[in-house]
Amino acid sequence: MPRTIHIIGAGLAGLSAGVRLARPDNRVVVHEATAFAGGRCRSYYDASVGMTIDNGNHLLLSGNRAALDFLRTIGTEHRLIGPPVAEFPFLDLKRRARWTLRFDDGRLPFWIFDSKRRVPGTHALDYLSMARLLWGRPDKTVGETIACKGALYSGLIEPLLLAALNIDPPQGSAKLAAAVIRETLAAGGRACRPLIARDGLAPTLIEPALNYLRAPGAQVRLEHQLRGMRFAAQRVEALDFGDEIVALGDADAVILAVPPYAAASLVAGLSVPNEYRAIVNAHFRIAPPAGQPPILGIINGTTQWVFAFPGRLSVTVSAGDALLDTPREELARTIWAEVAQAAGLPAEPLPPWQIVRERRATFAATPAQDQKRPGPRTAWRNLLLAGDWTDTGLPATIEGAIRSGNRAAELLRQMQP
């Protein structure tokens, strides 16, 4: 008889575990508390802009190998779009200067010797500070490891780490920063091509994963929130969904792929990160002008990145906690003024807009919070953890979430009864 694997949470960690485990010898059941799959990576119809949008712009890089492997498996890798080479156009709003960072495909960074391809105002030797970050001490912050000032910092290190760690970089963990640099800049341009789900997160990452799961008979139960677990000495005996108690057979297992605060409420005594950082997104219904790059970095503004989608320009502000209490329309107007300047569009009228503020977008990537991240195993042999907040060695990202799901699935495969 096949064993049943209950996956709690249909975010990318839970879905990637499910995709790995949906085989004839496993019965996979995914239980999701809300009415939709995708968790923090989702699309929805927004009446204010009159179109389906993503909760937030999500950027992948060509070096995100687990994410790309996941997309290949579910058949949607071709839905990611990006330039054929690793290039990032930037605009400094204060200095009104534009430039494009262009990395070499290989690992050798010839671009830092080329004043047309590196950050304006920097010299090749400045880039040695990146090496200091690579070999920085794991218990230190970025601010304790490198000087967080100067042209290289504001033109490359700050935007890269702000986006990847979702924290003001000086407070960020040097270990997590090193992991990001190792997997991106240090791996060469082939790992740094920016990739965007142009048609939306749900049609690219989520719905095809659900179809892939359902094809061999996996069940996906939406609005089915896990309320508690019954623990025996070494195993979980039953799952409590409020109106239904599900008893677990000897070979059955559970992958808990919920956010850290939910995991802590379900497993007493579990160490989890408990500080968060917000991400703010602004969406404007307007056709991007001809020549607008798919992604544009902005320096010296509230806006950090402008993404161009069909019929829409969308903005990301990472570590956006200071904007959580700004009145929505004021924020939309501030950001639109910057986007209009960047895209060469009229500042008036304000196009139809939406502001999406995710307060707990990611755990705060400080050294102290990083140390609270648990591994996948628990004190109960049939209970494993997954999620971008578990100890993946990466900051909270799609890549980290998918690697955590793969890792939990692999451990369960090894425990095959």
Ligand X SMILES: Cc1cc2nc3c(=O)[nH]c(=O)nc-3n(C[C@H](O)[C@H](O)[C@H](O)COP(=O)(O)OP(=O)(O)OC[C@H]3O[C@@H](n4cnc5c(N)ncnc54)[C@H](O)[C@@H]3O)c2cc1C
Contact positions toward ligand X, by CB under 6 A? 8-14, 31-34, 39-41, 55-56, 58-59, 225-226, 257-259, 262, 279, 281, 358, 361-362, 387-388, 396-399, 401
Give the nearest distance from C-beta 303 to ligand X in angstroms.
15
Closest CA to 366 of 151, 181, 174, 225: 174
Tokens of 370: 């990083």
Output the smallest distance, CB 281 to ligand X, in A.
6
- Whose Cβ is closer to ligand X: residue 21's or residue 257's? 257
Least Å from the CB of residue 238 to ligand X: 15
Instruction: Kindly state the smallest distance separating residue 342's Cβ from ligand X, in Å.
Output: 19
- Nearer of residues 204 and 281 to ligand X, judged by Cβ: 281
Question: Which structure tokens are listed for 282?
Answer: 């602004």
> Where in 73-129 does DSSP place strands (E)?
80-81, 87-92, 97-102
Query: Quick check: helix, strand or coil at residue 96?
Result: coil
Q: State how far the Cα of 190 lies from the Cα of 165, in Å rounded to an integer.
A: 21
Task: Evaluate the CA torsion angle 336, 288, 306, 14 in order and state its sign.
Answer: positive
Closer residue to ligand X, CB minimum distance, 140 or 328 = 328
Nearest approach in angstroms of CB 389 to ligand X is 7
Judged by beta carbon, residue 109 or residue 400, the one nearer ligand X is 400
d(CA 367, CA 223): 35
- 183 or 388: whose CB is closer to ligand X? 388
Instruction: For residue 349, say if its preceding peptide bond is cis, omega within 30 degrees of 0.
Output: yes
Distance CA 263, CA 233 (A): 19
CB of 248 to ligand X, least distance (A): 16
For ligand X, give the closer residue by CB, 13 or 177.
Answer: 13
Minimum CB distance to ligand X, residue 100 (Å):
20
Q: Which is nearer to ligand X, 91 or 226 (CB)?
A: 226
Q: Which helix (H) or strand (E) holds 413?
A: helix 398-414
Pair 8, 17: CB distance under 8 Å: no
User: Residue 268, class by beta-carbon neighbours within 10 Å (0-12 exposed, 13-18 middle, 19+ buried)?
Assistant: exposed
Shortest reach from residue 17's CB to ligand X, in Å: 9
- Which one, 36 or 51, has the nearer CB to ligand X? 36
Q: Which is nearer to ligand X, 152 or 263 (CB)?
A: 263
Give min distance, CB of 256 to ligand X, in A.
9
Instruction: Encode 181-216: b = buried (16+ Cβ within 10 Å), e = exposed.
Output: bebbbbbbbebbbbbbbbbbbbebbbbbbbebbeee
Compute the least distance from the CB of residue 391 to ligand X, in Å: 13
The CA distance from 166 to 88, in Å, is 19
DSSP string, 19-69: HHH-STTEEEEEE-SSSSS-TTS-EEEETTTTEEEESS--EEETT-HHHHH
CB of 38 to ligand X, least distance (A): 7
Distance CA 322, CA 315 (A): 16
| DSSP assignment letter at 2 | -
In angstroms, the CA 97 to CA 107 distance is 28
Smaller CB separation from ligand X, 145 or 281: 281
- Secondary-structure percent of the chain, ordered helix, strand, coil, rounded to 5: 30, 25, 45
Toward ligand X, which CB reaches closer, 10 or 342?
10
